[in-house]
Structure 1
Amino acid sequence: MASILANAPATASAPSLSTRDLTIRFGGHVAVNAVSADFHPGTLTVIVGPNGAGKTTYFNLVSGQLAASSGSVHLHGRDITRDGAARRTRLGIGRAFQLTNLFPHLTVIENVRLAVQSRAGLGLHFFSVWSSHKELIARAEHYLERVALSARRDMFVGALSHGDQRKLEVAILLALETGVMMFDEPTAGMSVDEVPTVLELIREVKRDSGKTVLLVEHKMDVVRQLADRIVVLHNGALVADGEPGAVMQSKIVQEAYLGTPESEHAHA
């Protein structure tokens, strides 16, 4: 199908993150097909598309969970294609996963403390000694307060509700203080009451003009609330890229990729 490209939002800033002809093949299947895109500070880009479109695979290529078959990933102009996920995090790409990626047998505060400790360059050793241990704890508590989890600081993560685990993931991502922040369906599995807290946190991140935010999402109400820009993938290829109004008003994109009003809440 021919690409439908809207005009991407104009920006004077240099891209913080870029992909060039980014491709991955699994046997004879091309899961992500030559995707080129620039992502800029102060812009929240939502990546949408039907099931199997390659959204999460593209995220995995950007964050380093998968190695590209061809093409490249650049962070502030630096080629990081051969760098692994841990290295990319240290360089400034942070990601919250669709499936929680936490330490269930540690407490809430301990999980965030490890992220603060990692950001300080002290590694992920739980018993590492830091000369300013109180400062480390204070910083961890600050991030817990931002996600409204202070009252659960001493609970084991495995005992948290799914919604609270997602909020904890956001706290950890904030604690890593990365310039590029990636959210993979951040409201998946949350109750209606839990969603607003996470959306407000993402809005707060979005208001920081120094942050570049990427979001995979299939709920169109969330997309409408948050997106500065929409990128549409289909069969692994980029088929639309532009301001939300321009992309969503395109009939073929709305019907084939974003969903008609009757199917908006179907999983993309």
Structure 2
Amino acid sequence: MTREPPVLETENLTIRFGGHVAVDSVSCAFERGTLTAIVGPNGAGKTTYFNLVSGQLRASAGRVRLNGEDITRKSVAERCDRGIGRAFQLTNLFASLSVRENVRLVVQSRAGRGFDIFSRASAHVELIERAEHVLAEVRLIDKRDMPVSALPHGDQRKLEVALMIALSPQVLMFDEPTAGMSVDEVPVILDLIRDLKKDRDRTILLVEHKMDVIRTLADRIIVLHNGALVADGEPGAVMRSAIVQEAYLGKAPETASPETVTIETAHD
């Protein structure tokens, strides 16, 4: 039996900015139904790698494949159409519209239906139902009629995830989803990602700096350093490895406590 290709794969993926190599020949495959955490110190190349995968940056060399198809030269929109969805650290929402309308517009766009000023709301019943289904999935259904501007920051992050889900992606990419959140808000987003992970048709990539979060959620950890892939494996083994504990956590292996360590990060 022929084994199906990975849902997502990068082969020798590289980007140079002048003489600086920000991502250095990274080859990695991501299987369906898995959650992979991408970690590393400041400037490691994590967000740049994300940008190459989602299309915000054009690779200097190497390949990105989705379900075996080479999408290296595809635009952000084309990659989105093929099944790559990304949630950013900063929300990008229509603040004056309701929560439901934000999601409905994405559902409508995904369905290939343009805006028709003469159409009646009843003509979009299925779109509204789909929007409300997505809002229920991210636990915002009770706030569907609220203007986005009235939502607290944590709920705006949840709505951003809803917009990504409304695109029906195969690959969900989260770039530090808990950034800027209060202590009370963080568990809500983590529970949401945990629920998304239950759908074995989804493949999740997560850049996160809280090691306790990673240990709880990830099936696998890959470590970037100076743009290169230096570790890849099961979370416990990777976090116990000398290269992580010494180079990134600044502790000797025998004294390190990965569960309580936070890797300080910034946009790469």
TM-score, structure 2 as length reference: 0.89
| SS class of match (1:208) | coil
Q: For residues 106-153 of structure 1, what are the alpha-carbon distances to aligned partners after superposition, in whole Å with 9 as ceiling and x for unaligned?
A: 221111112211221225x48595884111111111211222222322
Per-residue deviation, 1:173: 1.5
Separation in structure 2 between the aligned mates of residue 193 and residue 173 of structure 1, nearest angstrom: 23
State yes or no: 1:267 paired with 2:264.
yes
* Alpha-carbon spacing, 1:100–1:127, altered in 2? closer, same or farther (3 Å): farther
Per-residue deviation, 1:265: 2.6
State yes or no: 1:181 paired with 2:178.
no
Aligned to 1:6: none
Aligned to 2:232: 241
Does the 8 Å CA contact 1:51/1:267 hold for their aligned counterparts?
yes
Separation in structure 2 between the aligned mates of residue 201 and residue 23 of structure 1, nearest angstrom: 32
Q: Which amino acid aligns with 2:162?
A: A
State yes or no: 1:50 paired with 2:47.
no
After the TM superposition, which residues 202-213 of structure 1 pair with which residues of structure 2 at under 5 Å, given as runs? 202-213=193-204
| SS class of match (1:267) | coil
Q: Which amino acid aligns with 1:211?
A: R
Separation in structure 1 between the aligned mates of residue 21 and residue 250 of structure 2, nearest angstrom: 24
Q: Which amino acid aligns with 1:161?
A: P
Aligned to 1:91: 82
Per-residue deviation, 1:21: 0.8
Aligned to 1:139: 130
- Greater shift in the superposed pair: 238-247 or 127-136: 127-136
Aligned to 2:183: 192
Alignment RMSD: 2.1
Does the 8 Å CA contact 2:248/2:263 hold for their aligned counterparts?
no
Separation in structure 2 between the aligned mates of residue 53 and residue 242 of structure 1, nearest angstrom: 18
After the TM superposition, which residues 208-223 of structure 1 pair with which residues of structure 2 at under 5 Å, given as runs? 208-223=199-214
Identity %: 68
Separation in structure 1 between the aligned mates of residue 182 and residue 117 of structure 2, nearest angstrom: 35
Aligned to 2:254: none
Separation in structure 1 between the aligned mates of residue 106 and residue 118 of structure 2, nearest angstrom: 13
Does the 8 Å CA contact 1:248/1:258 hold for their aligned counterparts?
no
| SS class of match (2:200) | coil
Per-residue deviation, 1:172: 1.2
| SS class of match (2:262) | coil
| Alignment gaps of 5+ in structure 2 | 252-256
Aligned to 1:163: 154
Per-residue deviation, 1:26: 1.2
Aligned to 2:13: 22
Q: Which amino acid aligns with 1:240?
A: A
Per-residue deviation, 1:197: 2.0
Aligned residue-pair number: 256
Per-residue deviation, 1:73: 0.4
| SS class of match (1:73) | strand
| SS class of match (1:210) | coil
Does the 8 Å CA contact 1:48/1:257 hold for their aligned counterparts?
no
Does the 8 Å CA contact 2:40/2:263 hold for their aligned counterparts?
no
Aligned to 2:246: 255
* Alpha-carbon spacing, 1:128–1:196, altered in 2? closer, same or farther (3 Å): farther
| Residue from 225, 236, 253 that aligns with 2:216 | 225
* Alpha-carbon spacing, 1:126–1:58, altered in 2? closer, same or farther (3 Å): farther
Aligned to 1:7: none
Separation in structure 2 between the aligned mates of residue 22 and residue 258 of structure 1, nearest angstrom: 26
Does the 8 Å CA contact 2:221/2:233 hold for their aligned counterparts?
yes
| Alignment gaps of 5+ in structure 1 | 1-11
| SS class of match (2:25) | strand
Separation in structure 2 between the aligned mates of residue 128 and residue 101 of structure 1, nearest angstrom: 28
Per-residue deviation, 1:211: 1.0
